[in-house]
Chains A and B, each alone.
Chain A
Amino acid sequence: MSVLPAPLAPTRPAFLTRTTPAARLVAGTAWLVAAIVTLDPIVPARLFLAAIVALWLWSGLPLRRIPARLAPLGFAILSLTVFSILLSSANGDRSLATMAQIGPARITGPAISAGLAIGLRVVVIALTTLLVFGPSDPTRMADSLVQQWHVPDRFAYGTLAALRVAPFMAGDWATIGAARRLRGLAPRGPVARVREAGGRLLVMLVSAIRRAERLALAMDARGFDSGVRRTHFRELRTNWRDWLTIVLSFAVAAAALFVAR
Protein backbone atom coordinates (compact mmCIF):
# COMPACT_ATOMS: atom_id res chain seq x y z
CA MET A 1 0.00 0.00 0.00
CA SER A 2 1.38 3.32 -0.92
CA VAL A 3 1.26 6.16 1.53
CA LEU A 4 1.76 9.72 0.44
CA PRO A 5 4.51 11.57 2.26
CA ALA A 6 3.13 13.61 5.15
CA PRO A 7 3.42 17.32 4.40
CA LEU A 8 6.02 19.20 6.35
CA ALA A 9 4.05 21.23 8.91
CA PRO A 10 5.24 23.87 11.37
CA THR A 11 5.79 22.55 14.88
CA ARG A 12 5.68 25.92 16.60
CA PRO A 13 4.24 29.35 15.89
CA ALA A 14 6.76 31.58 14.17
CA PHE A 15 6.96 34.83 12.29
CA LEU A 16 6.09 33.32 8.91
CA THR A 17 3.20 31.23 10.26
CA ARG A 18 1.51 34.54 11.07
CA THR A 19 1.91 35.90 7.55
CA THR A 20 -0.67 35.22 4.86
CA PRO A 21 0.16 32.73 2.10
CA ALA A 22 -0.45 35.31 -0.63
CA ALA A 23 2.21 37.57 0.86
CA ARG A 24 4.66 34.68 1.04
CA LEU A 25 3.94 33.88 -2.61
CA VAL A 26 4.92 37.42 -3.59
CA ALA A 27 7.99 37.33 -1.40
CA GLY A 28 9.03 33.90 -2.69
CA THR A 29 8.58 34.93 -6.30
CA ALA A 30 11.20 37.65 -5.81
CA TRP A 31 13.74 35.02 -4.82
CA LEU A 32 12.66 32.68 -7.61
CA VAL A 33 13.20 35.41 -10.20
CA ALA A 34 16.51 36.50 -8.69
CA ALA A 35 17.73 32.89 -8.75
CA ILE A 36 16.91 32.27 -12.39
CA VAL A 37 17.96 35.50 -14.10
CA THR A 38 21.70 35.01 -13.69
CA LEU A 39 24.38 32.37 -14.22
CA ASP A 40 26.61 33.87 -11.53
CA PRO A 41 26.72 31.31 -8.70
CA ILE A 42 27.21 34.00 -6.05
CA VAL A 43 23.52 35.06 -6.38
CA PRO A 44 21.94 31.67 -5.57
CA ALA A 45 24.67 31.13 -2.96
CA ARG A 46 23.62 34.29 -1.14
CA LEU A 47 19.94 33.39 -1.46
CA PHE A 48 20.74 29.92 -0.16
CA LEU A 49 22.22 31.42 3.00
CA ALA A 50 19.25 33.76 3.38
CA ALA A 51 16.82 30.86 2.95
CA ILE A 52 18.62 28.79 5.59
CA VAL A 53 18.45 31.68 8.03
CA ALA A 54 14.76 32.26 7.32
CA LEU A 55 13.93 28.56 7.71
CA TRP A 56 15.89 28.39 10.92
CA LEU A 57 14.56 31.53 12.59
CA TRP A 58 11.13 32.30 11.17
CA SER A 59 9.45 29.29 9.50
CA GLY A 60 8.47 27.20 12.52
CA LEU A 61 9.26 24.10 10.44
CA PRO A 62 11.10 21.16 12.01
CA LEU A 63 14.60 21.72 10.61
CA ARG A 64 15.79 18.22 11.29
CA ARG A 65 13.26 16.75 8.87
CA ILE A 66 14.17 19.03 5.99
CA PRO A 67 17.36 17.24 4.77
CA ALA A 68 15.51 13.93 4.53
CA ARG A 69 12.73 15.64 2.57
CA LEU A 70 15.18 17.14 0.11
CA ALA A 71 17.41 14.08 -0.23
CA PRO A 72 15.72 12.73 -3.38
CA LEU A 73 16.52 16.05 -4.99
CA GLY A 74 20.26 15.44 -4.58
CA PHE A 75 20.51 13.13 -7.56
CA ALA A 76 18.69 15.53 -9.86
CA ILE A 77 20.86 18.44 -8.75
CA LEU A 78 24.02 16.45 -9.28
CA SER A 79 23.07 15.35 -12.76
CA LEU A 80 21.81 18.80 -13.74
CA THR A 81 25.08 20.37 -12.54
CA VAL A 82 27.30 17.80 -14.24
CA PHE A 83 25.50 17.93 -17.56
CA SER A 84 25.33 21.74 -17.47
CA ILE A 85 29.12 21.79 -17.05
CA LEU A 86 29.80 19.12 -19.68
CA LEU A 87 27.49 20.60 -22.31
CA SER A 88 28.14 24.26 -21.62
CA SER A 89 28.49 26.58 -24.61
CA ALA A 90 31.52 28.12 -22.90
CA ASN A 91 33.44 24.87 -23.47
CA GLY A 92 33.57 25.64 -27.18
CA ASP A 93 35.15 29.05 -26.64
CA ARG A 94 38.83 28.67 -27.56
CA SER A 95 39.79 31.93 -25.86
CA LEU A 96 39.02 30.44 -22.45
CA ALA A 97 41.53 28.42 -20.51
CA THR A 98 40.94 24.69 -20.16
CA MET A 99 40.24 23.80 -16.55
CA ALA A 100 39.91 20.09 -17.10
CA GLN A 101 39.93 17.54 -19.89
CA ILE A 102 37.72 14.44 -19.65
CA GLY A 103 38.36 12.34 -22.73
CA PRO A 104 37.25 14.46 -25.67
CA ALA A 105 35.39 16.92 -23.41
CA ARG A 106 37.11 20.16 -22.59
CA ILE A 107 35.84 22.06 -19.59
CA THR A 108 36.28 25.78 -19.01
CA GLY A 109 35.99 27.97 -15.92
CA PRO A 110 32.75 29.72 -16.94
CA ALA A 111 31.16 26.32 -17.61
CA ILE A 112 31.91 25.21 -14.07
CA SER A 113 30.61 28.41 -12.60
CA ALA A 114 27.38 28.28 -14.66
CA GLY A 115 26.88 24.63 -13.70
CA LEU A 116 27.26 25.49 -10.03
CA ALA A 117 24.81 28.38 -10.45
CA ILE A 118 22.21 26.05 -11.98
CA GLY A 119 22.65 23.41 -9.28
CA LEU A 120 22.41 25.99 -6.51
CA ARG A 121 19.42 27.57 -8.21
CA VAL A 122 17.45 24.35 -7.79
CA VAL A 123 18.34 24.19 -4.10
CA VAL A 124 17.19 27.78 -3.63
CA ILE A 125 13.91 27.07 -5.43
CA ALA A 126 13.30 24.06 -3.18
CA LEU A 127 14.00 25.98 0.03
CA THR A 128 11.93 28.97 -1.10
CA THR A 129 9.07 26.59 -1.85
CA LEU A 130 9.28 25.34 1.71
CA LEU A 131 9.19 28.91 3.02
CA VAL A 132 6.12 29.74 0.93
CA PHE A 133 4.05 26.58 1.33
CA GLY A 134 5.42 25.18 4.59
CA PRO A 135 4.14 27.60 7.24
CA SER A 136 0.43 27.01 6.56
CA ASP A 137 -1.80 24.30 5.13
CA PRO A 138 -3.53 24.26 1.71
CA THR A 139 -6.78 25.49 3.25
CA ARG A 140 -5.09 28.74 4.32
CA MET A 141 -3.61 29.03 0.86
CA ALA A 142 -7.07 28.80 -0.73
CA ASP A 143 -8.58 31.21 1.83
CA SER A 144 -5.78 33.63 1.17
CA LEU A 145 -5.98 33.52 -2.62
CA VAL A 146 -9.76 33.95 -2.53
CA GLN A 147 -9.89 36.71 0.07
CA GLN A 148 -6.78 38.68 -0.87
CA TRP A 149 -6.42 38.09 -4.59
CA HIS A 150 -10.07 37.40 -5.43
CA VAL A 151 -9.28 34.13 -7.17
CA PRO A 152 -12.68 32.61 -8.19
CA ASP A 153 -13.78 30.74 -5.07
CA ARG A 154 -15.46 27.81 -6.81
CA PHE A 155 -12.15 26.93 -8.48
CA ALA A 156 -10.12 27.44 -5.32
CA TYR A 157 -12.36 25.35 -3.07
CA GLY A 158 -13.08 22.81 -5.78
CA THR A 159 -9.34 22.22 -5.96
CA LEU A 160 -9.09 22.03 -2.20
CA ALA A 161 -11.82 19.38 -2.10
CA ALA A 162 -9.91 17.38 -4.70
CA LEU A 163 -6.68 17.70 -2.72
CA ARG A 164 -8.34 16.23 0.36
CA VAL A 165 -8.99 13.10 -1.68
CA ALA A 166 -5.32 12.71 -2.75
CA PRO A 167 -4.46 10.10 -0.08
CA PHE A 168 -7.41 7.97 -1.19
CA MET A 169 -6.24 8.24 -4.78
CA ALA A 170 -2.82 7.02 -3.67
CA GLY A 171 -4.59 4.07 -2.02
CA ASP A 172 -6.46 3.38 -5.26
CA TRP A 173 -3.20 3.42 -7.20
CA ALA A 174 -1.67 0.83 -4.90
CA THR A 175 -4.82 -1.28 -5.04
CA ILE A 176 -4.90 -1.20 -8.84
CA GLY A 177 -1.27 -2.32 -9.01
CA ALA A 178 -1.86 -5.08 -6.47
CA ALA A 179 -4.95 -6.31 -8.33
CA ARG A 180 -3.03 -6.58 -11.59
CA ARG A 181 -0.14 -8.43 -10.01
CA LEU A 182 -2.51 -10.87 -8.34
CA ARG A 183 -4.14 -11.60 -11.67
CA GLY A 184 -0.78 -12.82 -12.87
CA LEU A 185 -0.13 -9.86 -15.15
CA ALA A 186 3.61 -9.42 -15.42
CA PRO A 187 4.40 -7.49 -18.58
CA ARG A 188 7.63 -8.36 -20.35
CA GLY A 189 9.33 -6.06 -22.79
CA PRO A 190 8.84 -2.33 -23.30
CA VAL A 191 5.65 -2.52 -25.40
CA ALA A 192 3.89 -4.72 -22.86
CA ARG A 193 5.05 -2.45 -20.06
CA VAL A 194 3.69 0.69 -21.72
CA ARG A 195 0.38 -1.06 -22.38
CA GLU A 196 0.23 -2.24 -18.79
CA ALA A 197 1.01 1.27 -17.51
CA GLY A 198 -1.71 2.67 -19.78
CA GLY A 199 -4.22 0.16 -18.46
CA ARG A 200 -3.36 0.97 -14.88
CA LEU A 201 -3.60 4.71 -15.59
CA LEU A 202 -7.00 4.24 -17.24
CA VAL A 203 -8.46 2.49 -14.19
CA MET A 204 -6.99 5.23 -12.00
CA LEU A 205 -8.69 7.92 -14.08
CA VAL A 206 -12.03 6.12 -14.05
CA SER A 207 -11.77 5.97 -10.28
CA ALA A 208 -10.89 9.69 -10.16
CA ILE A 209 -13.90 10.59 -12.28
CA ARG A 210 -16.27 8.49 -10.17
CA ARG A 211 -14.96 10.11 -6.99
CA ALA A 212 -15.21 13.57 -8.55
CA GLU A 213 -18.84 13.02 -9.51
CA ARG A 214 -19.81 11.92 -6.02
CA LEU A 215 -17.89 14.76 -4.44
CA ALA A 216 -19.35 17.39 -6.78
CA LEU A 217 -22.87 16.15 -6.10
CA ALA A 218 -22.26 16.35 -2.35
CA MET A 219 -20.88 19.87 -2.73
CA ASP A 220 -23.85 20.97 -4.82
CA ALA A 221 -26.19 19.44 -2.25
CA ARG A 222 -24.62 21.86 0.23
CA GLY A 223 -25.18 24.89 -1.95
CA PHE A 224 -21.73 25.19 -3.55
CA ASP A 225 -23.21 26.26 -6.88
CA SER A 226 -26.02 28.43 -5.54
CA GLY A 227 -24.71 31.62 -7.11
CA VAL A 228 -24.69 33.41 -3.77
CA ARG A 229 -21.51 35.27 -2.86
CA ARG A 230 -19.84 33.08 -0.26
CA THR A 231 -18.90 34.40 3.16
CA HIS A 232 -15.77 33.30 5.01
CA PHE A 233 -15.64 31.29 8.20
CA ARG A 234 -11.99 32.21 8.64
CA GLU A 235 -11.03 35.68 7.67
CA LEU A 236 -7.57 36.64 6.55
CA ARG A 237 -6.23 40.13 6.22
CA THR A 238 -2.96 41.48 4.96
CA ASN A 239 -1.01 42.50 8.07
CA TRP A 240 2.22 44.32 8.89
CA ARG A 241 4.14 41.07 8.94
CA ASP A 242 3.13 40.49 5.32
CA TRP A 243 4.50 43.88 4.27
CA LEU A 244 7.67 43.37 6.24
CA THR A 245 8.17 39.93 4.67
CA ILE A 246 7.68 41.29 1.17
CA VAL A 247 9.95 44.31 1.69
CA LEU A 248 12.69 42.20 3.28
CA SER A 249 12.57 39.51 0.61
CA PHE A 250 12.81 42.07 -2.19
CA ALA A 251 15.71 43.75 -0.38
CA VAL A 252 17.49 40.41 0.00
CA ALA A 253 16.87 39.54 -3.67
CA ALA A 254 18.23 42.91 -4.76
CA ALA A 255 21.24 42.58 -2.49
CA ALA A 256 21.94 39.06 -3.77
CA LEU A 257 21.85 40.33 -7.34
CA PHE A 258 23.57 43.67 -7.13
CA VAL A 259 25.99 43.81 -4.19
CA ALA A 260 29.47 43.44 -5.64
CA ARG A 261 31.63 40.57 -4.45
Chain B
Amino acid sequence: MNAFPASRHSAELFRWRTVDIVVVALLAVAFGVVFWAWGTYVWAWGSFLGPQTESLLTGVWLLPAVVCPLIVRRPGAALFGELVAAVVSALLGSYWGLDTLLSGLLQGAGAEVVFFVTMYRAWNPAVAILAAAGAGIGEATHDLIVSYPGIDYAGRAAIGAAEIVSAIVVVGIGGWLLVRALRQTGALQTFPSGA
Protein backbone atom coordinates (compact mmCIF):
# COMPACT_ATOMS: atom_id res chain seq x y z
CA MET B 1 0.00 0.00 0.00
CA ASN B 2 0.86 3.61 0.29
CA ALA B 3 2.97 3.64 -2.81
CA PHE B 4 2.84 5.29 -6.16
CA PRO B 5 3.40 2.71 -8.89
CA ALA B 6 7.00 1.95 -8.22
CA SER B 7 9.66 0.42 -10.37
CA ARG B 8 8.37 -2.86 -11.62
CA HIS B 9 9.73 -5.94 -9.97
CA SER B 10 9.46 -9.19 -11.83
CA ALA B 11 6.95 -10.61 -9.33
CA GLU B 12 4.74 -7.61 -9.97
CA LEU B 13 5.28 -8.01 -13.69
CA PHE B 14 3.67 -11.42 -13.78
CA ARG B 15 0.80 -10.48 -11.54
CA TRP B 16 -2.27 -9.44 -13.49
CA ARG B 17 -4.47 -7.02 -11.58
CA THR B 18 -8.22 -7.30 -12.10
CA VAL B 19 -8.17 -4.06 -14.06
CA ASP B 20 -5.53 -5.49 -16.41
CA ILE B 21 -7.64 -8.55 -17.11
CA VAL B 22 -10.86 -6.63 -17.61
CA VAL B 23 -9.32 -3.91 -19.74
CA VAL B 24 -7.72 -6.42 -22.12
CA ALA B 25 -10.99 -8.35 -22.33
CA LEU B 26 -13.04 -5.20 -22.85
CA LEU B 27 -10.65 -3.80 -25.46
CA ALA B 28 -11.00 -7.11 -27.26
CA VAL B 29 -14.78 -6.76 -26.97
CA ALA B 30 -14.57 -3.21 -28.32
CA PHE B 31 -12.48 -4.38 -31.27
CA GLY B 32 -14.93 -7.27 -31.74
CA VAL B 33 -17.84 -4.84 -31.90
CA VAL B 34 -16.01 -2.53 -34.30
CA PHE B 35 -14.99 -5.44 -36.54
CA TRP B 36 -18.54 -6.66 -36.50
CA ALA B 37 -19.81 -3.20 -37.47
CA TRP B 38 -17.22 -2.77 -40.22
CA GLY B 39 -17.03 -6.43 -41.10
CA THR B 40 -19.85 -6.64 -43.54
CA TYR B 41 -18.51 -4.28 -46.11
CA VAL B 42 -14.80 -4.69 -45.44
CA TRP B 43 -15.18 -8.40 -46.02
CA ALA B 44 -17.58 -8.05 -48.88
CA TRP B 45 -15.24 -5.69 -50.73
CA GLY B 46 -12.15 -7.62 -49.81
CA SER B 47 -13.36 -11.00 -50.91
CA PHE B 48 -14.76 -9.48 -54.08
CA LEU B 49 -11.30 -8.24 -55.01
CA GLY B 50 -9.60 -11.59 -54.51
CA PRO B 51 -7.46 -13.16 -51.81
CA GLN B 52 -4.35 -11.02 -52.19
CA THR B 53 -6.26 -7.76 -51.85
CA GLU B 54 -8.39 -9.20 -49.10
CA SER B 55 -5.20 -10.09 -47.26
CA LEU B 56 -4.16 -6.46 -47.24
CA LEU B 57 -7.23 -5.71 -45.14
CA THR B 58 -6.79 -8.52 -42.65
CA GLY B 59 -4.28 -6.62 -40.53
CA VAL B 60 -7.16 -4.92 -38.78
CA TRP B 61 -8.13 -8.20 -37.12
CA LEU B 62 -4.75 -8.39 -35.41
CA LEU B 63 -4.97 -5.06 -33.57
CA PRO B 64 -5.69 -6.65 -30.15
CA ALA B 65 -2.48 -8.70 -30.37
CA VAL B 66 -0.37 -5.57 -30.24
CA VAL B 67 -2.57 -2.87 -28.71
CA CYS B 68 -3.45 -4.88 -25.57
CA PRO B 69 0.15 -5.71 -24.59
CA LEU B 70 1.29 -2.15 -25.32
CA ILE B 71 -1.31 -0.92 -22.83
CA VAL B 72 -1.14 -3.36 -19.91
CA ARG B 73 2.44 -4.57 -20.47
CA ARG B 74 1.82 -7.97 -18.94
CA PRO B 75 3.08 -11.35 -20.15
CA GLY B 76 0.42 -13.20 -22.09
CA ALA B 77 -1.50 -10.05 -23.03
CA ALA B 78 -1.11 -10.67 -26.77
CA LEU B 79 -2.34 -14.23 -26.51
CA PHE B 80 -5.18 -13.42 -24.11
CA GLY B 81 -6.27 -10.38 -26.14
CA GLU B 82 -6.43 -12.30 -29.42
CA LEU B 83 -8.22 -15.26 -27.83
CA VAL B 84 -10.86 -13.03 -26.25
CA ALA B 85 -11.29 -11.16 -29.53
CA ALA B 86 -11.81 -14.51 -31.24
CA VAL B 87 -14.37 -15.63 -28.66
CA VAL B 88 -16.17 -12.31 -28.97
CA SER B 89 -16.37 -12.43 -32.72
CA ALA B 90 -17.60 -16.03 -32.49
CA LEU B 91 -20.33 -14.93 -30.09
CA LEU B 92 -21.24 -11.89 -32.16
CA GLY B 93 -22.03 -14.26 -34.96
CA SER B 94 -18.81 -14.78 -36.83
CA TYR B 95 -19.28 -17.88 -38.87
CA TRP B 96 -15.73 -19.11 -38.54
CA GLY B 97 -16.20 -19.60 -34.80
CA LEU B 98 -14.14 -22.57 -33.78
CA ASP B 99 -11.62 -21.83 -36.45
CA THR B 100 -11.32 -18.25 -35.16
CA LEU B 101 -10.05 -19.68 -31.89
CA LEU B 102 -7.35 -21.50 -33.79
CA SER B 103 -6.31 -18.46 -35.80
CA GLY B 104 -6.50 -16.24 -32.69
CA LEU B 105 -4.17 -18.63 -30.92
CA LEU B 106 -1.64 -18.54 -33.76
CA GLN B 107 -1.82 -14.76 -34.16
CA GLY B 108 -1.54 -14.11 -30.44
CA ALA B 109 1.35 -16.55 -30.13
CA GLY B 110 3.18 -14.88 -33.02
CA ALA B 111 3.09 -11.52 -31.26
CA GLU B 112 3.68 -12.99 -27.81
CA VAL B 113 6.98 -14.55 -28.89
CA VAL B 114 8.34 -11.11 -29.76
CA PHE B 115 7.34 -9.58 -26.44
CA PHE B 116 8.78 -12.60 -24.66
CA VAL B 117 12.12 -12.18 -26.39
CA THR B 118 12.29 -8.61 -25.10
CA MET B 119 11.54 -9.97 -21.60
CA TYR B 120 8.50 -7.68 -21.52
CA ARG B 121 10.69 -4.64 -21.05
CA ALA B 122 10.77 -2.87 -24.42
CA TRP B 123 7.62 -1.21 -25.75
CA ASN B 124 8.92 0.97 -28.55
CA PRO B 125 7.69 1.21 -32.17
CA ALA B 126 10.30 -1.29 -33.35
CA VAL B 127 9.02 -3.93 -30.95
CA ALA B 128 5.45 -3.10 -31.91
CA ILE B 129 6.30 -3.62 -35.59
CA LEU B 130 8.11 -6.90 -34.91
CA ALA B 131 5.22 -8.15 -32.79
CA ALA B 132 2.80 -7.17 -35.54
CA ALA B 133 4.91 -9.08 -38.04
CA GLY B 134 4.86 -12.06 -35.67
CA ALA B 135 1.09 -11.90 -35.48
CA GLY B 136 0.98 -11.59 -39.26
CA ILE B 137 3.12 -14.71 -39.68
CA GLY B 138 0.79 -16.59 -37.31
CA GLU B 139 -2.19 -15.44 -39.32
CA ALA B 140 -0.60 -16.26 -42.67
CA THR B 141 0.28 -19.75 -41.42
CA HIS B 142 -3.32 -20.36 -40.52
CA ASP B 143 -4.87 -18.88 -43.64
CA LEU B 144 -2.56 -20.65 -46.06
CA ILE B 145 -3.48 -23.99 -44.50
CA VAL B 146 -7.18 -23.45 -43.91
CA SER B 147 -8.39 -21.00 -46.54
CA TYR B 148 -5.97 -21.12 -49.45
CA PRO B 149 -4.42 -24.58 -49.58
CA GLY B 150 -5.15 -25.29 -53.23
CA ILE B 151 -3.67 -22.12 -54.67
CA ASP B 152 -0.33 -22.20 -56.53
CA TYR B 153 2.89 -21.27 -54.75
CA ALA B 154 3.25 -17.82 -56.25
CA GLY B 155 -0.29 -17.00 -55.23
CA ARG B 156 0.24 -18.28 -51.72
CA ALA B 157 3.50 -16.38 -51.34
CA ALA B 158 1.71 -13.21 -52.43
CA ILE B 159 -1.09 -13.80 -49.95
CA GLY B 160 1.32 -14.48 -47.08
CA ALA B 161 3.39 -11.41 -47.91
CA ALA B 162 0.29 -9.24 -48.17
CA GLU B 163 -0.93 -10.39 -44.76
CA ILE B 164 2.40 -9.67 -43.11
CA VAL B 165 2.73 -6.26 -44.76
CA SER B 166 -0.81 -5.44 -43.71
CA ALA B 167 -0.04 -6.49 -40.15
CA ILE B 168 3.07 -4.31 -40.04
CA VAL B 169 1.33 -1.23 -41.40
CA VAL B 170 -2.05 -1.45 -39.73
CA VAL B 171 -1.11 -3.15 -36.47
CA GLY B 172 2.53 -2.28 -35.93
CA ILE B 173 2.46 1.36 -36.97
CA GLY B 174 -1.28 1.99 -36.63
CA GLY B 175 -1.54 0.17 -33.31
CA TRP B 176 1.42 1.99 -31.85
CA LEU B 177 -0.02 5.36 -32.93
CA LEU B 178 -3.36 4.36 -31.43
CA VAL B 179 -1.79 3.59 -28.07
CA ARG B 180 0.11 6.86 -28.18
CA ALA B 181 -3.12 8.73 -28.86
CA LEU B 182 -4.78 6.87 -25.99
CA ARG B 183 -1.97 7.84 -23.66
CA GLN B 184 -2.48 11.49 -24.64
CA THR B 185 -6.15 11.32 -23.68
CA GLY B 186 -5.09 10.42 -20.15
CA ALA B 187 -7.12 7.22 -20.28
CA LEU B 188 -4.12 5.03 -19.51
CA GLN B 189 -3.16 6.60 -16.20
CA THR B 190 -3.76 3.43 -14.20
CA PHE B 191 -1.49 1.42 -16.48
CA PRO B 192 2.30 1.29 -16.74
CA SER B 193 1.98 2.57 -20.30
CA GLY B 194 0.22 5.75 -19.20
CA ALA B 195 2.91 7.05 -16.88
Contacts and interface: CB of A to CB of B under 8 A. Distances in A.
A169 B29 CA distance: 8
Given A36-B146, A39-B150, A133-B91, A165 B26 contact: yes
Contact of B18 (A90, A202, A219): A219
Given A88-B152, A202-B178, A128 B21 contact: no
Interface in A162-221: 162-163, 165-166, 169-170, 173, 198, 201-202, 204-213, 215-217, 219-220
B26 A79 contact: no
Contact of B95 (A72, A166, A220): A72
B47 A75 contact: yes
A155 B26 contact: no
Interface string B93-122: 101111100100000000000000000000
Contacts of B19: 212-213, 216-217
Contact of A204 (B21, B30, B88, B93): B30
A225 B21 CA distance: 11
Contacts of A210: 187
B83 to A, nearest CB: 9
B176 interface: no
A88 B152 CA distance: 5
A198 B178 contact: yes
A154 B34 contact: no
B141 interface: no
Contact of A209 (B17, B23, B93): B23
A219 B92 contact: no
Nearest to B43: A76
A208 B27 contact: yes
A255 interface: no
Interface in A52-94: 69-70, 72-73, 75-76, 79-80, 83-84, 87-92
Nearest to A204: B30
B96 A39 contact: no
Contacts of A207: 30
Nearest to A210: B187
A145 B39 CA distance: 29
B44 A75 contact: yes
Interface string B174-186: 1001100110010
A141 B146 CA distance: 25
Contact of B40 (A72, A115, A155): A72
Contacts of A111: 150
B80 A155 contact: yes
A224 B91 CA distance: 25
Interface of B: 16-19, 21-23, 25-30, 32-34, 36-37, 40, 43-44, 47-48, 50-51, 67, 71, 80, 84, 87-88, 90-93, 95-99, 102, 145-153, 155, 174, 177-178, 181-182, 185, 187-188, 190
- 5 shortest interchain CB distances as A-B pairs: A129-B97, A162-B25, A114-B150, A89-B152, A158-B21
